[in-house]
Structure 1
Protein backbone atom coordinates (compact mmCIF):
# COMPACT_ATOMS: atom_id res chain seq x y z
CA UNK A 1 0.00 0.00 0.00
CA UNK A 2 1.43 3.37 -1.03
CA UNK A 3 1.57 6.21 1.49
CA UNK A 4 -1.29 8.44 0.30
CA UNK A 5 -4.97 9.16 0.72
CA UNK A 6 -6.93 9.31 -2.52
CA UNK A 7 -10.48 9.81 -1.32
CA UNK A 8 -12.04 11.14 1.86
CA UNK A 9 -15.72 10.25 2.20
CA UNK A 10 -17.92 12.04 4.70
CA UNK A 11 -21.15 10.27 5.56
CA UNK A 12 -23.80 13.00 5.79
CA UNK A 13 -27.50 13.17 6.54
CA UNK A 14 -28.31 16.28 4.47
CA UNK A 15 -26.31 16.09 1.25
CA UNK A 16 -27.41 19.42 -0.22
CA UNK A 17 -26.92 21.41 3.00
CA UNK A 18 -23.39 20.11 3.50
CA UNK A 19 -22.55 20.59 -0.19
CA UNK A 20 -23.86 24.17 0.02
CA UNK A 21 -21.59 24.79 3.03
CA UNK A 22 -18.46 23.73 1.12
CA UNK A 23 -19.60 25.69 -1.95
CA UNK A 24 -20.02 28.77 0.27
CA UNK A 25 -16.35 28.31 1.21
CA UNK A 26 -15.51 28.60 -2.49
CA UNK A 27 -15.25 24.91 -3.43
CA UNK A 28 -16.54 23.68 -6.79
CA UNK A 29 -18.40 20.41 -7.32
CA UNK A 30 -17.09 17.98 -9.90
CA UNK A 31 -19.23 15.66 -11.97
CA UNK A 32 -20.98 13.18 -9.72
CA UNK A 33 -22.83 9.91 -10.06
CA UNK A 34 -24.68 7.35 -7.98
CA UNK A 35 -25.73 9.77 -5.24
CA UNK A 36 -22.23 11.09 -4.49
CA UNK A 37 -21.31 14.78 -4.37
CA UNK A 38 -17.59 15.26 -4.97
CA UNK A 39 -15.08 18.08 -4.69
CA UNK A 40 -11.62 17.86 -6.30
CA UNK A 41 -8.90 18.44 -3.70
CA UNK A 42 -6.04 18.79 -6.20
CA UNK A 43 -4.92 15.17 -6.29
CA UNK A 44 -7.49 13.77 -3.88
CA UNK A 45 -11.26 13.91 -3.67
CA UNK A 46 -13.69 14.81 -0.91
CA UNK A 47 -16.91 12.86 -1.38
CA UNK A 48 -20.22 13.39 0.38
CA UNK A 49 -22.32 10.24 0.60
CA UNK A 50 -25.59 9.53 2.40
CA UNK A 51 -24.77 8.29 5.90
CA UNK A 52 -27.26 5.42 5.75
CA UNK A 53 -25.86 4.27 2.39
CA UNK A 54 -22.31 4.44 3.74
CA UNK A 55 -23.28 2.28 6.73
CA UNK A 56 -25.00 -0.16 4.37
CA UNK A 57 -21.95 -0.29 2.10
CA UNK A 58 -19.65 -0.99 5.07
CA UNK A 59 -22.10 -3.49 6.53
CA UNK A 60 -22.62 -1.82 9.90
CA UNK A 61 -25.46 -0.05 11.71
CA UNK A 62 -25.57 3.74 11.20
CA UNK A 63 -25.14 4.25 14.94
CA UNK A 64 -21.78 2.48 14.77
CA UNK A 65 -20.36 5.15 12.45
CA UNK A 66 -20.86 8.04 14.88
CA UNK A 67 -18.18 10.72 14.92
CA UNK A 68 -14.68 9.49 15.59
CA UNK A 69 -11.72 11.42 16.95
CA UNK A 70 -10.48 12.57 13.58
CA UNK A 71 -9.86 15.98 12.02
CA UNK A 72 -9.25 17.03 8.45
CA UNK A 73 -6.43 19.55 8.01
CA UNK A 74 -6.15 22.51 5.65
CA UNK A 75 -2.79 24.30 5.72
CA UNK A 76 -2.52 27.82 4.36
CA UNK A 77 0.44 30.07 3.50
CA UNK A 78 -0.07 32.70 6.22
CA UNK A 79 -1.70 33.60 9.53
CA UNK A 80 -3.94 36.05 7.67
CA UNK A 81 -5.18 33.16 5.53
CA UNK A 82 -6.14 31.22 8.68
CA UNK A 83 -8.19 34.21 9.85
CA UNK A 84 -9.80 34.64 6.43
CA UNK A 85 -10.82 30.98 6.16
CA UNK A 86 -12.32 31.00 9.65
CA UNK A 87 -14.32 34.16 8.87
CA UNK A 88 -15.60 32.50 5.71
CA UNK A 89 -16.58 29.40 7.71
CA UNK A 90 -18.81 31.46 9.99
CA UNK A 91 -20.40 33.24 7.02
CA UNK A 92 -21.07 29.87 5.37
CA UNK A 93 -22.84 28.47 8.44
CA UNK A 94 -20.06 26.43 10.01
CA UNK A 95 -19.19 26.47 13.71
CA UNK A 96 -15.88 27.80 14.94
CA UNK A 97 -14.77 25.41 17.67
CA UNK A 98 -11.44 27.08 18.47
CA UNK A 99 -10.80 30.60 17.18
CA UNK A 100 -7.46 31.16 15.40
CA UNK A 101 -4.59 31.45 17.85
CA UNK A 102 -0.91 30.80 18.30
CA UNK A 103 0.10 27.21 18.98
CA UNK A 104 2.80 26.11 21.45
CA UNK A 105 4.97 24.78 18.59
CA UNK A 106 5.11 28.19 16.85
CA UNK A 107 2.27 27.90 14.37
CA UNK A 108 -1.15 29.49 14.16
CA UNK A 109 -4.40 27.54 13.86
CA UNK A 110 -8.10 27.18 14.59
CA UNK A 111 -10.77 24.48 14.38
CA UNK A 112 -14.25 24.47 12.87
CA UNK A 113 -16.99 21.98 12.14
CA UNK A 114 -19.18 21.74 9.07
CA UNK A 115 -22.98 21.63 9.44
CA UNK A 116 -22.91 17.91 10.33
CA UNK A 117 -20.03 18.00 12.79
CA UNK A 118 -17.00 17.01 10.66
CA UNK A 119 -14.05 18.80 12.24
CA UNK A 120 -11.42 20.72 10.30
CA UNK A 121 -8.19 22.35 11.44
CA UNK A 122 -6.99 25.39 9.49
CA UNK A 123 -3.31 26.02 10.14
CA UNK A 124 -0.26 28.03 9.16
CA UNK A 125 3.00 26.24 9.91
CA UNK A 126 5.94 28.62 9.46
CA UNK A 127 8.37 25.69 9.75
CA UNK A 128 6.83 23.75 6.88
CA UNK A 129 6.08 26.12 4.01
CA UNK A 130 3.65 24.94 1.36
CA UNK A 131 5.01 23.99 -2.03
CA UNK A 132 3.78 26.13 -4.94
CA UNK A 133 1.48 23.35 -6.13
CA UNK A 134 -0.06 23.06 -2.63
CA UNK A 135 -1.66 26.47 -2.92
CA UNK A 136 -1.64 27.13 -6.65
CA UNK A 137 -5.44 26.90 -6.68
CA UNK A 138 -6.15 29.09 -3.64
CA UNK A 139 -9.73 29.75 -2.70
CA UNK A 140 -11.12 32.97 -4.12
CA UNK A 141 -13.25 35.37 -2.19
CA UNK A 142 -11.00 36.05 0.80
Structure 2
Protein backbone atom coordinates (compact mmCIF):
# COMPACT_ATOMS: atom_id res chain seq x y z
CA UNK A 1 0.00 0.00 0.00
CA UNK A 2 1.31 3.46 -0.93
CA UNK A 3 1.98 5.82 1.97
CA UNK A 4 -0.62 8.50 1.19
CA UNK A 5 -4.06 9.79 2.11
CA UNK A 6 -6.66 10.34 -0.65
CA UNK A 7 -9.91 11.32 1.12
CA UNK A 8 -10.88 12.58 4.55
CA UNK A 9 -14.58 11.70 4.89
CA UNK A 10 -16.68 13.03 7.75
CA UNK A 11 -20.38 12.96 8.56
CA UNK A 12 -22.24 16.26 8.95
CA UNK A 13 -25.65 16.96 10.51
CA UNK A 14 -26.72 19.75 8.14
CA UNK A 15 -25.15 19.59 4.69
CA UNK A 16 -26.66 22.94 3.68
CA UNK A 17 -25.06 24.70 6.67
CA UNK A 18 -21.79 22.93 5.92
CA UNK A 19 -21.93 24.04 2.29
CA UNK A 20 -22.65 27.64 3.31
CA UNK A 21 -19.73 27.62 5.76
CA UNK A 22 -17.07 26.14 3.48
CA UNK A 23 -18.14 27.56 0.10
CA UNK A 24 -19.71 30.90 0.97
CA UNK A 25 -17.94 31.62 4.26
CA UNK A 26 -14.42 30.35 3.62
CA UNK A 27 -14.58 30.88 -0.14
CA UNK A 28 -13.65 27.32 -1.07
CA UNK A 29 -14.76 25.64 -4.31
CA UNK A 30 -16.70 22.39 -4.57
CA UNK A 31 -15.24 19.62 -6.70
CA UNK A 32 -18.48 17.64 -6.41
CA UNK A 33 -21.76 18.72 -4.88
CA UNK A 34 -24.75 16.39 -4.62
CA UNK A 35 -27.45 18.23 -2.61
CA UNK A 36 -28.71 16.18 0.31
CA UNK A 37 -25.87 13.67 -0.03
CA UNK A 38 -22.28 14.88 -0.23
CA UNK A 39 -20.01 17.87 -0.76
CA UNK A 40 -16.46 17.15 -1.91
CA UNK A 41 -13.71 19.77 -1.87
CA UNK A 42 -10.20 19.21 -3.20
CA UNK A 43 -7.96 20.41 -0.37
CA UNK A 44 -4.60 19.32 -1.73
CA UNK A 45 -3.01 18.14 -4.93
CA UNK A 46 -4.23 14.61 -4.33
CA UNK A 47 -6.50 15.02 -1.28
CA UNK A 48 -10.29 15.52 -1.07
CA UNK A 49 -12.35 16.54 1.96
CA UNK A 50 -15.60 14.59 1.65
CA UNK A 51 -18.49 15.95 3.74
CA UNK A 52 -21.37 13.45 3.89
CA UNK A 53 -24.91 13.88 5.16
CA UNK A 54 -25.13 11.64 8.23
CA UNK A 55 -27.68 9.25 6.71
CA UNK A 56 -25.52 8.47 3.68
CA UNK A 57 -22.40 8.18 5.81
CA UNK A 58 -24.09 5.71 8.17
CA UNK A 59 -25.53 3.61 5.34
CA UNK A 60 -22.04 3.12 3.92
CA UNK A 61 -19.79 3.12 6.98
CA UNK A 62 -22.00 2.15 9.91
CA UNK A 63 -23.54 3.81 12.98
CA UNK A 64 -22.09 7.11 14.13
CA UNK A 65 -21.03 7.39 17.76
CA UNK A 66 -22.93 10.24 19.36
CA UNK A 67 -22.62 11.92 22.72
CA UNK A 68 -20.86 14.64 24.63
CA UNK A 69 -17.42 15.93 23.79
CA UNK A 70 -15.53 16.54 20.58
CA UNK A 71 -14.96 14.20 17.68
CA UNK A 72 -11.55 12.59 18.26
CA UNK A 73 -10.01 14.17 15.14
CA UNK A 74 -8.62 17.50 14.08
CA UNK A 75 -8.05 18.79 10.58
CA UNK A 76 -5.06 21.05 10.06
CA UNK A 77 -4.28 23.89 7.67
CA UNK A 78 -0.67 25.01 7.81
CA UNK A 79 0.49 28.43 6.65
CA UNK A 80 3.89 30.06 6.20
CA UNK A 81 3.65 32.87 8.80
CA UNK A 82 2.13 33.76 12.14
CA UNK A 83 0.23 36.63 10.47
CA UNK A 84 -1.44 34.14 8.12
CA UNK A 85 -2.63 32.11 11.11
CA UNK A 86 -4.37 35.19 12.50
CA UNK A 87 -5.84 36.08 9.08
CA UNK A 88 -7.30 32.58 8.55
CA UNK A 89 -8.81 32.58 12.04
CA UNK A 90 -10.38 35.98 11.30
CA UNK A 91 -11.85 34.60 8.06
CA UNK A 92 -13.26 31.59 9.92
CA UNK A 93 -14.77 33.87 12.57
CA UNK A 94 -16.38 36.03 9.84
CA UNK A 95 -17.75 32.84 8.22
CA UNK A 96 -19.53 31.97 11.46
CA UNK A 97 -17.05 29.51 12.95
CA UNK A 98 -17.77 28.79 16.58
CA UNK A 99 -15.78 28.52 18.65
CA UNK A 100 -12.64 30.27 17.47
CA UNK A 101 -9.64 29.98 19.78
CA UNK A 102 -7.09 32.69 19.10
CA UNK A 103 -3.61 31.49 18.22
CA UNK A 104 -0.92 31.14 20.87
CA UNK A 105 2.78 30.36 20.84
CA UNK A 106 3.23 26.63 21.48
CA UNK A 107 5.99 25.00 23.53
CA UNK A 108 7.23 23.19 20.42
CA UNK A 109 7.95 26.49 18.63
CA UNK A 110 4.82 26.86 16.54
CA UNK A 111 1.90 29.27 16.60
CA UNK A 112 -1.58 27.74 16.35
CA UNK A 113 -5.25 28.43 16.93
CA UNK A 114 -8.45 26.49 16.33
CA UNK A 115 -11.94 26.96 14.98
CA UNK A 116 -14.98 24.70 14.85
CA UNK A 117 -16.99 24.13 11.66
CA UNK A 118 -20.80 23.80 11.78
CA UNK A 119 -20.51 20.22 13.06
CA UNK A 120 -17.86 21.04 15.63
CA UNK A 121 -14.95 19.49 13.73
CA UNK A 122 -11.89 21.33 14.91
CA UNK A 123 -9.55 22.92 12.39
CA UNK A 124 -6.06 23.75 13.60
CA UNK A 125 -4.53 26.73 11.82
CA UNK A 126 -0.81 26.42 12.27
CA UNK A 127 2.52 28.02 11.61
CA UNK A 128 5.10 25.28 12.15
CA UNK A 129 8.67 26.50 11.63
CA UNK A 130 10.16 22.99 11.86
CA UNK A 131 11.04 20.65 9.00
CA UNK A 132 7.75 18.72 9.16
CA UNK A 133 5.87 22.00 8.89
CA UNK A 134 7.67 22.79 5.64
CA UNK A 135 6.70 19.41 4.14
CA UNK A 136 3.02 20.38 3.98
CA UNK A 137 3.29 23.89 2.54
CA UNK A 138 2.62 24.47 -1.16
> What are the equivalent positions in structure 2 for 1:64-103 lying under 5 Å apart?
64=65, 67-103=70-106
Gaps (5+ residues) in structure 2?
A: none
Q: Output the aligned Cα RMSD.
A: 2.0
Distance 1:53 1:125 in 2: 36
TM-score using structure 1 length: 0.83
Q: Which runs of 4+ in 1 moved over 4 A?
A: none
Equivalence for 1:38: 40
Counterpart of 2:16 in structure 1 is 16
> Is the 2:8–2:48 Cα contact (8 Å) retained in structure 1?
yes
Preserved CA contact (<8 Å) 2:85 2:126: yes
Q: In 2, distance between residues paired with 1:31 and 1:56? A: 20
Structure 1: state its 5+ residue gaps. Answer: 136-142
For residues 15-45 of structure 1, give each alpha carbon's deviation from its aligned partner in whole angstroms, at most 9, with x where no partner exists.
1111111121121111335822111112100
Note if contact 1:55-1:65 (Cα within 8 Å) is conserved in structure 2. no
